[in-house]
């Protein structure tokens, strides 16, 4: 039987009613659809925000240094000479001499944290908010490996001739085409002279039961593990692998778990030394000189007899920086021996600039003979650079280290 359109007015009304209902449903469906679309939009947004994207060769930003006389420089705390009013005398000298206005930010507190903050911009070759930054050499090695930094024009840095030979050819950047050291230092051991009158000679002395619960170590994996590996006879510069690291890890874990090591910290370890929560620590060379100057001459630093680590905080210019020539100008300025000496007299770290020692003789002969600022050949022989790790090793070793730090 063929269907006829209904004619009964009541049925017609019922149909109209059901159609209206359907429309309403369709409407609500479309509203749900809209919500779905909004959700999808948010998802896409999120994906865009966190996707790593395809790796492509980054290109340097166009250098506008010639017209824009500005420079933003991110650096670590207490790494620039400072007068009583909080001004930076050497930096003011540079601004007067070059006419480049420098915004100096104390923005680096930790290599990993700083990297975590800027890594997305770095990976896209975008401006990270700084034209140049000083990071520790192993982190610089990572930036170099990923192609995140611009190559330096040595013609703009004639003072590079003053670069000390011991810093000229790191394994990640032979000939310093992409990076230039700012200041360096050693990790070694230090102790409170009143509480540990006999002093310490080696990392093993830190594990003396008399110091139980009074030892601090650094949360910088390469320094703490580096010193322990050296004390176990491993050459940290050369060929070593998982086994050597595991041995050092065992020793480290044992000392943390039995309570010998009180705490594992970054820059905060100085507070513990000062409040005498710790009597001895693995520490950074320049800090102890500064601490003695501000809190009474109470601490002594030594490179352990099995050797210490040597590290460098190093200038790089990220791909997104549009002021590379200005950055090169500031590097060139700090490679003047006189400027380097003035800086070193304040920050107390190892200067990579040849001739600074002679310049220092004029400022303060006592500092000029300080092995922690101007190490001679025999001192340099006792300190070693932790070899560059592959990404897989870095992930693995850092994870093991953090596992102990979190007690998990």
Task: Tell me whether residue 40 or residue 169 sits nearer to other proteins (CB atom).
Answer: 40
Q: What is the spatial distance between Cα 193 and Cα 180, in angstroms, rounded to a whole number?
A: 36
Evaluate whether 151 touches 177 at the Cβ level (below 8 Å): yes
Mapping DSSP to helix (H, G, I), strand (E, B) and coil, where does residue 352 land?
coil
Binding site for other proteins (CB under 8 A): 38-39, 42-43, 45-47, 49-52, 110, 112-113, 115-116, 119, 142, 145-146, 212-214, 219, 256, 262-266, 268, 271, 275-277, 391-392, 394-395, 398-399, 402-408
Q: Name the minimum Å distance from CB 203 to other proteins.
A: 19
Is the Cβ of residue 87 or residue 113 nearer to other proteins in the bound state? 113
Between the alpha carbon of residue 255 and those of residues 46, 171, 341, 404, the distances in Å are: 43, 32, 40, 10
Are 275 and 162 a contacting pair, CB within 8 Å? no
Integer Cα distance of 271 and 281 in angstroms = 12
Bridge partners of residue 263, in order along the sequence: 216
Task: Indicate the residue among 45 and 92 with the shorter CB distance to other proteins.
Answer: 45
- Helix (H) / strand (E) element for 404: namely helix 391-406
Nearer to other proteins, 208 or 305 (CB): 208
Q: How many residues does the chain have?
A: 408
Whole-number minimum distance, CB 146 to other proteins, in Å?
6
Say how many Å lie between the first and final Cα of the chain, rounded. Answer: 78
Q: Is the CB of 98 or the CB of 146 nearer to other proteins?
A: 146
Element containing residue 322 per DSSP (H, E): none
In sequence order, what are the residues at sequence separation of 6 or more whose Cβ sits closer than 8 angstroms to the Cβ of residue 113? Answer: none
User: Minimum distance between the CB of residue 205 and other proteins, rounded to whole angstroms?
Assistant: 19
Beta partners for residue 215, in sequence order = 261, 280
Q: How far is the CB of 57 from other proteins (least distance, A)?
A: 15
Q: 3 vs 49, which CB is nearer to other proteins? A: 49
Min CB(150)–other proteins separation in Å: 19
Whole-number Å distance between alpha carbons of 73 and 225: 30
Identify which of 146, 128, 39 has the alpha carbon closest to the alpha carbon of residue 394: 146
Alpha carbons 263 and 261: distance in angstroms, whole number: 6
Looking at the Cβ atoms of 124 and 322, the one nearer to other proteins is 124
In angstroms, what is the minimal distance from the CB of 403 to other proteins? 8
Q: Which of 381, 398, 367, 364 is nearest to 286 (CA)?
A: 367
Cβ proximity to other proteins: between 94 and 148 the closer is: 148
Q: How far is the CB of 298 from other proteins (least distance, A)?
A: 13
- Closer of 153 and 276 to other proteins (Cβ): 276
Q: Check if the beta carbon of residue 284 is closer than 8 Å to that of residue 77.
A: no
Tokens of 79: 């790494």
Distance of closest approach, residue 408 Cβ to other proteins, in angstroms = 6
Contact 64, 322 (CB under 8 A): yes
How near is the Cβ of 389 to other proteins at its closest, in Å?
A: 10
């Amino acid at each position: 039987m063929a269907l006829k359109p209904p004619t009964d007015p009541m049925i017609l009304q019922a149909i109209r009613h059901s159609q209206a209902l359907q429309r309403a449903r369709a409407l609500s469906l479309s509203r749900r659809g809209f919500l779905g679309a909004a959700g999808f939009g948010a998802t896409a947004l999120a994906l865009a925000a966190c996707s790593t994207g395809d790796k492509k060769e980054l290109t340097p930003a166009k250098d506008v240094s010639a017209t824009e006389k500005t420079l933003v420089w991110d650096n670590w705390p207490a790494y620039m000479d400072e007068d009583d009013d909080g001004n930076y005398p050497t930096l003011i000298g540079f601004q007067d001499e070059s006419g480049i206005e420098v915004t100096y930010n104390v923005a680096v507190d930790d290599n990993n944290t700083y990297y975590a903050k800027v890594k997305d911009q770095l990976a896209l070759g975008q401006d990270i908010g700084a034209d140049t930054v000083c990071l520790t050499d192993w982190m610089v090695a990572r930036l170099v490996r990923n192609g995140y930094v611009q190559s330096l024009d040595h013609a703009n840095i004639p003072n590079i001739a003053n670069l000390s030979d011991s810093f000229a050819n790191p394994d990640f950047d032979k000939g310093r085409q992409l990076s230039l050291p700012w200041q360096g230092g050693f990790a070694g051991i230090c102790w409170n002279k009143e509480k540990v009158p006999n002093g310490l000679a080696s990392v093993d002395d830190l594990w003396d039961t008399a110091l139980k619960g009074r030892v601090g170590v650094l949360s910088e994996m390469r320094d703490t593990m580096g010193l322990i590996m050296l004390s176990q006879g491993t050459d940290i510069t050369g060929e070593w692998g998982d086994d050597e690291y595991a041995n050092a890890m065992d020793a480290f874990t044992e000392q943390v778990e039995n309570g010998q090591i009180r705490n594992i910290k970054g820059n905060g370890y100085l507070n513990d030394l000062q409040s005498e929560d710790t009597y001895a620590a693995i520490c950074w060379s320049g800090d102890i000189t500064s601490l003695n100057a501000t809190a009474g001459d109470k601490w002594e630093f030594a490179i352990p007899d099995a050797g210490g680590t040597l590290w460098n905080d190093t200038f790089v210019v990220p791909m997104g920086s549009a002021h590379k020539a200005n950055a090169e100008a500031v590097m060139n300025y700090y490679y003047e021996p006189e400027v380097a000496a003035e800086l070193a007299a304040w920050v107390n770290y190892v200067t990579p600039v040849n001739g600074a020692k002679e310049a220092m003789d004029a400022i303060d002969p006592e500092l000029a003979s300080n092995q922690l600022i101007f190490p001679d050949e025999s001192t340099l022989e006792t300190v070693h650079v932790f070899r560059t790790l592959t990404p897989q090793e870095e992930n693995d070793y850092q994870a093991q280290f953090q596992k102990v730090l979190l007690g998990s």
